[in-house]
Chain A
Amino acid sequence: MSHALSRVNDVSEPVIHAAGLTKVYGDTVAVGGIDFDVPPGESFGLLGPNGAGKSTTMRMVGAVSTRTAGELSILGLDPDQHGPEIRAQLGVVPQQDNLDMELQARENLLVYGRYFGLPRRVIAQRADELLAFAQLEDKAKSKVDDLSGGMKRRLTIARALINDPRILLLDEPTTGLDPQARHILWDRLFRLKEQGTTLVLTTHYMDEAEQLCDRLVVVDKGRIMAEGSPSALIREHSTREVLEVRFGSDRNADAAKRIGAIAGLGERIEELPDRVLVYADNGEHALAAVIESGLEPVTSLVRRSSLEDVFLRLTGRSLIE
């Protein structure tokens, strides 16, 4: 094992390697053959809508779900053969918190450390550091039930760090949190990244992906649709700016047709149920052209392209339904 692990200390060696990774449940193809490599220290994201196969992928990478086909190696080891050794090097934040409800907050960290077979003294010291890291010092003796959703999430992340993992797997770390709690979490994750921890996270929030990920894959229906850094993906699959115009729900379709007829307006037009999107490098110019053509939008907005637009472009669907 030490031989296998030392190999991945080589900078060029990815800490996660997946090729043709597939998971089939009965008739459902949850993950349909995906390929990706994550080099050490990278912050890697899986972005996709509900049911895309993000959690399934995370569970396979976390060595708690056996792949149906394909190659997978974590820290140079095959999870089929070396589950416990791999898991010893991982920190896992599952989509749904699974804290130990019968224990207090600090006890959750202590006991979890024991599961990794760590010495008691090391665990006690780390538990205190992690409670501080998660800003939960004054909740150390609280029952898990008495913590708020955001506190539980932070405790789950703290718990995932008790074994000083080389890779941290975060499945929708901030779903269900208010904006302030999200920003606190992002800040904590950013610090970990600075310390060299490899992060793998799933999300369906594009702002989160843009904030946290060096590189990401856009997943839909178990397939990878695109791969790259957030800015490269936007550059490649969208225009610089987007004009959003609303005409009222029953008039959007008609307006979209008329906008489409305006020559040289934008690269592409998307009609959504509640608005029309015009992809153009200069949004203000596009807006002027729309108004000039005699259309009267109820509201209009010019913004920069985001990963949401990339997703819409690649799949024809919105990321958040």
Chain B
Amino acid sequence: MSSTTARVAAARSRGEGSGPRRRGGGVRALYAGNARSVVVRGLVATRSTNWIVVLTGVVEPVFYLLSLGVGLGGYVTGVTDPAGHPISYAAFIAPALLAVSAMNGAVYDSTWNVFFKMHFGKLYQGMLATSLGPLDIALGEILLALLRGGVYGTIFLVVMTALGLNLSWTAVLALPALLLIAFGFASIGMAITSYLKTFQHMDWIQFVMLPMFLLSATFYPLTVYSEPIQWFIQAMPLWHGVELVRSLTTGAIGPMLLVHVAYYAVMVAIGMVFTTRRLRALFLD
């Protein structure tokens, strides 16, 4: 034994093995293809869900739509769909509110819920002692967020149809679009949350979300802003989400749709890479 210890000590003093060893195994060490079990766990745990939050997520956008779109909308004219055709104000903001609700649901699930699990329960630590890898957990939690986003979105789409605000058959594609938007936000949200250490840090997320909501072409067309602000808005994820959904519900199909979709695909990829990396660093050190 002493000779081995001496050997290791010597190796370390020469600098061998003192840095992090290269980790092999590739994706197989990170992903067991069993994200579903994490979703199942989430569904079993829904009994202790905060149902008020869920209900707010459904009711809030409908409330906005009725008061702003239908109420105030009577006084607003001159808005157009993304292709430039004039549409009613209600038909203008409804898809935007839809995108916003997808964002809110996804962000809530991927930030507050995940933060709590990371710091107050040892849930992920327990999961990672099984054959699950960090990517299973990240994907599972995000799919769970999507599930909720999908439910919100479907309810809102039904309300829109009832009010005659879906102007084209392409509105059915708004549902998968919503899921993509939710995926993008959940993925980034979980990545950011995995780096946050205290509740105070969690407030920063609100701090970013609110201006993004107000400056997103949700309530006003992009053209009301000055050019630098327009650039800023167009760089933000929510604008792409709003435009994507609005194009689909109004039937203004064009090549820009691909840009919006690509934007979210990149968000998903970046978020997943960082979340997986971070979970591995935190729980498989």
**What residues of chain A have their CB less than 8 Å away from a CB belonging to chain B?**
19-20, 22, 24, 32-35, 62, 64-70, 78, 80-85, 87-88, 90, 92, 94, 96, 98-103, 107, 110-112, 114-117, 163, 223-224
With the chains together, A81 CA to B30 CA distance in Å?
A: 10
Q: Mark B111-124, 1 if CB is under 8 A from A, else 0.
A: 00000000001110
* B 1-21 to A, binary, CB cutoff 8 A, 1 in contact else 0: 100110111011000111011
Are A69 and B11 touching (Cβ within 8 A)? yes
A220 to B23, CA, bound (A): 28
Choose from A22, A101, A116 the contact partner of B130 (Cβ within 8 Å).
Answer: A116
Given that A22-B12, A33-B4 are contacting pairs, would A100 and B28 also be in contact in the complex, using a CB cutoff of 8 Å? no
Would you call B131 and A87 a contact (CB within 8 A)? Answer: yes
A19 x B130 contact (CB < 8 A): no
17 A-B pairs in the complex with CB atoms less than 8 angstroms apart: A32-B8, A33-B8, A64-B125, A64-B128, A64-B283, A84-B133, A96-B122, A98-B122, A102-B48, A103-B41, A111-B44, A114-B40, A115-B38, A117-B34, A117-B131, A163-B130, A223-B5
Query: Would you call B25 an interface residue if the criterion is a C-beta within 8 Å of the partner chain's C-beta atoms?
Result: yes
- A20 with B8: CB separation less than 8 A: yes
Interface residues of B in 269-285 (CB under 8 A from A): 283-285
* Extra A-B contacts (5), CB below 8 Å, given A35-B1, A66-B284, A98-B121: A19-B4, A83-B29, A100-B121, A111-B44, A115-B131
Q: Which residues from A are CB-within-8-Å of B284?
A: 64-66, 83
Contacts of B29 in A (CB 8 A): 80-84
- B167 in the interface, Cβ–Cβ < 8 Å? no
> Which 4 pairs of residues, A with B, have the shortest CB-CB distance?
A98-B122, A69-B17, A33-B8, A114-B37
> Does B164 count as interface, using CB distance less than 8 angstroms?
no
Q: How far, in Å, is B31 (CB) from chain A's closest CB? A: 8
Closest to B24 in A: A81
Residues of B within 8 A of A20 (CB): 4-5, 7-8
Q: How far is the CB of B245 from chain A (nearest CB, A)?
A: 33
B32 on interface, CB distance cutoff 8 Å: yes
- Return chain A residues, CB-CB under 8 Å to B257: none
- Given contacts A22-B17, A115-B34, is CB(A64)–CB(B131) below 8 Å? no
Instruction: Let me know if B129 is at the binding interface, CB within 8 A.
Output: yes
Do the beta carbons of B24 and A80 come within 8 Å of each other?
yes
Max chain B Cβ within 10 angstroms of own Cβ: one of A67, A84, A92: A84
Residues of B with Cβ closer than 8 Å to A? 1, 4-5, 7-9, 11-12, 16-18, 20-21, 23-25, 28-29, 32, 34, 36-38, 40-41, 44-45, 47-48, 121-123, 125-133, 283-285
Question: Which residue of A has the minimal Cβ distance to B28?
Answer: A84
Tell me which residues across on chain A come within 8 A of B5, comparing CB atoms: 20, 32-33, 223
- Minimum CB distance partner of B121 in chain A: A101
Q: Are B126 and A107 in contact, CB atoms less than 8 angstroms apart? A: no
Contacts A83-B133, A84-B132, A94-B125; A69 near B12 (Cβ below 8 A): yes
Chain B residues with CB under 8 A of A34: 1
Say whether A62 contacts B129, CB under 8 Å.
yes
Contact A102 B45 (CB under 8 A): yes
A112–B130 contact, CB under 8 A? yes
Other-chain contact of B18, A62, A68, A84, A111 (Cβ < 8 Å): A68
Please indicate the chain B residues that have their CB under 8 angstroms from the CB of A163 in the complex: 130
What's the minimum C-beta distance from B98 to chain A, rounded to whole angstroms?
30
**B9: chain A residues within 8 A (beta carbon):** 32-33
Knowing A87-B131, A92-B129, A163-B130 are in contact, say whether A65-B285 is a contact too (CB < 8 A).
Answer: yes
| A69 in complex: contacting residue of B21, B28, B34, B126, CB < 8 Å | B21
| Residue of A32, A68, A88 with most partner-chain B CB within 10 A | A68
Tell me how far the C-beta of A241 lies from the nearest C-beta in chain B, rounded to whole angstroms.
29
A173 to chain B, nearest CB (A): 15
Residues on B with C-beta less than 8 A from A62 are 129
